[in-house]
A = this chain, B = another copy of it.
Amino acid sequence: MRSTTESPDVGESVDDRSTRARIRDAGITCIARHGIKETTARKVASIADVSPALVIHHFGSMDGLRSACDEFVATTIRDFKEKTLSTGPNLDVLAALRNAPNGPLIAYLAQVLADDSPAVARLVDGLVDDAEGYIQQGVDSGLLKPTDDPRGRAVVLTAWGLGSLVLHQHIERLLGFDLTDPDALTRPTAGAYIGPIYEIYGEGILEEPFATQVQQLFTESEGTT
């Protein structure tokens, strides 16, 4: 079908290292920087150094570009997770993604998570699935306490991680720690954010007698559903 100067039988990868990929990456960059609604065909075109018409020519519409960006980010994340799955259990949903090299993935996520799309929904579902797996690993290896509701715990932990990412501006204002920074974990202010988290993860925040009391309150009202 289409080829540049290389062998045309590779299909996807040839198609991808060309202008079309540059435009897609420009879209990801623009969304990561300015958000979805501020990402216009002309801005993307200017970043990719092409004409606005070419954006439409390659992706059909701005919606098509959006889908392509979502899809690409999702598969990139999935691929990267597979590669680093052997790192072992991790409670930070984003820990693995931080080391990913392909552009501003985390900032893109922060912008896109709030505004729902099918690809993002699938991505989040995948992250929850992974979290559930990681947690199970942790339980098996004796690092994490077991639970009656592994799925619920995975959803809550993922929501906390991703939700904090979406609110990164507030967290940065309040703690001086920017979650969208790729090197966030090595910053000196990282402890201000991670410290309280692992304090809660470690021992909880409820005093013992009250903890078991609340615990029973909620294990009564469910469990039989």
Contacts and interface: CB of A to CB of B under 8 A. Distances in A.
Interface of A: 35, 37, 91, 113-116, 121, 124-125, 128, 135, 142-145, 147, 149, 152-153, 155-157, 159-160, 162-167, 169-171, 173-175, 188, 190-207, 210-212, 214-215, 218-219, 221-222, 225
A203 to B, nearest CB: 5
Contact of A167 (B114, B191, B221): B114
B155 A207 contact: no
Contact of A191 (B162, B191, B222): B222
B205 A156 contact: no
Contact of A160 (B91, B163, B204): B163
A191 B37 contact: no
B163 A196 contact: no
Nearest to A211: B202
Nearest to A115: B35
Given A200-B204, A206-B202, A159 B152 contact: no
B152 A195 contact: yes
A144 to B, nearest CB: 5
A208 to B, nearest CB: 9
Contacts of A207: 142-145
Nearest to A160: B160
Contacts of A163: 159-160, 162-167
A207 to B, nearest CB: 6
B205 A155 contact: no
A218 B199 CA distance: 9
